[in-house]
Amino acid sequence: MSQEYTPLSTSIKNTHGSNPLLSADFILNPNRTPDPMGDSYLSAMVAHCLGDCGAAINLPMDQKHKDYLQSIGLNANSQLHFEVGENADRFYPNGSCEAAFLNSPDEVKHRIRSLLHQAGYFSFYPNFITENAVSISRVLEIPFGNVVEHEQENAILVSNTAHSKAFLRAGSEKFDYQIAIGKVINCKSGVITGNTLQKSIFELIEQVKERHNLNNEEINKLEFWFKLDDLSGGDGVVNISAPFDLEKCENIIQRISKIIEACGRSPKNFSGNLILEAGINSVAGIEIISNINAQALIGRDGKLTHFDTSVQMTDQDGNYLGNTLPYLDQVALKSINREFQKLANHYYEMGYCGLMGGDAMVIRANKGYDVVWFDMNTRMNGSQAFQEHHRLANSVRGGMHSLNINLTFPEGVRHQDAASVLGHNLFTFHNNRGVIPTLYRSNSESLERVVKASLIGNSQQDLNQIIAELKSKEINI
């Protein structure tokens, strides 16, 4: 059965009472991520979520791709799709769409402000509220939509707090949601030593052993996740497996130090939090039903709307590979939504009321399912466009199956865009199946080899057929 398509921007308008201006920079501060591609990918994503009431600021996109998105019902409000700056080097800070907006001529900024005010009442939804975002809010004379009204003056603090993994952990007891066994390690004047890391691991082993009654063999199979508190999107995470000897712990500290250096910071002077957590997938006796990404929007009253839940695919090392839809277990879905609301209450009390994307494990429990959260992104998530694509296809014909994944195009593709390479495999409403690229460029010397895309099929068998057709064109999944 088909379902009516409601774009993200329409859900925001219905929930918050104002049209959204979207922006998707991927950084807390300049060079705070080792991923030079993150901004370009998320910057392009806003064009997939506008509906007929949203606006967006992003870096320039390929015109053919924008035309294609409009042809399938996305990026409908093209008059309020504002492209600023250049998208040549694709690295920070030059690749930042918000920095590019502020560096635009005054007449460009004034034109955007006039068009927004003529189109209706808007609120601003940046991924991260930085000094740049505050400046844009002032230039355009619109408030932040993802911060409650009485915290507008503290918007940067609200945003930074909401993006902290330590904040996620801090509210679990008061708001009654589950998190992985772990601890927050505060560094005041440099990264901790290998000896301190080893002691922390042994402390957590005792906690896991006591809670789950593990024997020595099961303890030796435990894994731990060591990560930076303020990095987003899976960056800055190191896996630790047995043996937990001092030499290994010192090597782990060297690895996390390199990640800190890649973010433009000094390990010797590092000040901030490191998070150490037991990998729930390595604990004996726990039956994992699914590894999920749940997305929603906090309303002005603190209630969640616009739920989307997909299954996350990872490799054996926990590296993210993509998402699949639909999420079929309806009993588990009710548990996810209930537990997500508990978590959202924590963020809403602090002053945040925007988009949320949480990663969790759904596990078997005595009376149904438990949901154990291990990350929360208070921003537009990497799978947001994928969710839009799936709902769009479902509005034509229900029961669609979708896969969000990277496509790797063959080397040596010159002066062609993704559309011409994909050919008849490009999604259209006529056959309601195929590939919807999130981002590609056709005006460069060669096509970006790795393209994030959604694969849409009428069944899992149909998806397998699309994958086979792509592989026949030497496009790898």
What is each CA distance from 4 to 12, 391, 397, 401, 430, in whole angstroms?
16, 8, 10, 16, 18
- Which has the closest alpha carbon to 179: 372, 464, 354? 372
The per-residue pLDDT for 81 is 92
Amino acid at 258: K
Q: Is the pLDDT of residue 444 over 50?
A: no
Residue 18 and residue 300: Cα distance in Å, rounded? 11
Q: Which pair of structure tokens corresponds to residue 5?
A: 């398509």
Question: Taking residues 443-450, what's their average pLDDT?
Answer: 54
Coil vs helix vs strand at 141: coil
Q: How confident is the model at residue 93 (pLDDT cuts 50, 70, 90)?
A: low
The per-residue pLDDT for 79 is 87
Which one is predicted more confidently, 45 or 167? 167
Question: Taking residues 305-333, what's their average pLDDT?
Answer: 84
The per-residue pLDDT for 446 is 47
Q: How confident is the model at residue 2 (pLDDT cuts 50, 70, 90)?
A: low
- Which has the closest alpha carbon to 91: 41, 133, 135? 41
- Interior CA angle at 54 toward 52 and 75, to 5°? 60
Question: Taking residues 328-350, what's their average pLDDT?
Answer: 94
pTM of the predicted protein model: 0.92
201's CB contacts (< 8 A; 6+ apart) are: 224, 240, 244, 249, 276
- Interior CA angle at 234 toward 228 and 236, to 5°? 35
Question: Taking residues 130-154, what's their average pLDDT?
Answer: 96
What is each CA distance from 458 to 143, 403, 455, in whole angstroms?
42, 12, 10
- Find which of 33-42, 74-83, 167-176 is predicted with most confidence, using mean pLDDT: 167-176
The radius of gyration computed from the CA coordinates of the chain, to the nearest angstrom, equals 22
Exposed e or buried b for every residue in 85-112, given b needs 16+ CB within 10 A? bebeebebbebbbbbbbbebeeeebeeb
The percent of residues above 90 in pLDDT, for the chain, comes to 63
Q: Which pair of structure tokens corresponds to residue 271?
A: 């000040």
Q: Is the pLDDT of residue 410 over 90?
A: no
Amino acid at 264: G
Q: Which pair of structure tokens corresponds to residue 91?
A: 């690295």
How would you classify residue 34: left for phi > 0, otherwise alpha for psi between -120 and 50, otherwise beta?
Answer: alpha
The per-residue pLDDT for 231 is 76
Which one is predicted more confidently, 419 or 139? 139
The per-residue pLDDT for 442 is 42
Element (H, E) at 155: helix 155-162
The per-residue pLDDT for 221 is 94
Domain-wise residue ranges, the chain: 1-146, 181-278, 384-472
The answer to which of 26-35, 120-129, 182-191, 236-245 has the lowest mean pLDDT is 26-35
Residue 379 and residue 162 in contact, taking contact as beta carbons nearer than 8 Å: no
pLDDT digits (tens, 9 = 90+) for 182-192: 999 999 999 99
User: How many CA atoms within 13 Å lie on the side-chain side of 380?
Assistant: 34
Which one is predicted more confidently, 128 or 417? 128
Q: What torsion do the CA atoms of 354, 360, 364, 370 make, to the nearest 10 degrees? A: -40
How would you classify residue 51: left for phi > 0, otherwise alpha for psi between -120 and 50, otherwise beta?
Answer: left
Counting Cβ atoms within 10 Å, is residue 68 exposed (0-12), middle (13-18) or buried (19+)? buried
Residue 355 and residue 297 in contact, taking contact as beta carbons nearer than 8 Å: yes
Q: Spell out the alpha helix ranges (H) of 215-266.
A: 216-219, 246-262
Coil vs helix vs strand at 98: helix
The per-residue pLDDT for 414 is 52
Residue 195 and residue 249 in contact, taking contact as beta carbons nearer than 8 Å: yes
The per-residue pLDDT for 396 is 85
- Interior CA angle at 457 toward 425 and 320, to 5°? 90
Residue 249 and residue 263 in contact, taking contact as beta carbons nearer than 8 Å: no
Residue 150 and residue 131: Cα distance in Å, rounded? 19
Mean pLDDT for all residues in the chain:
88
- Which has the closest alpha carbon to 409: 370, 381, 365, 440? 440
- Which has the closest alpha carbon to 359: 311, 407, 304, 288? 311
- Which has the closest alpha carbon to 431: 386, 388, 392, 393? 393
Report the 10 Å Cβ neighbour count for 127.
30
Phi and psi at 368, nearest 5°, equal 130, -115
Residue 357 and residue 433: Cα distance in Å, rounded? 27
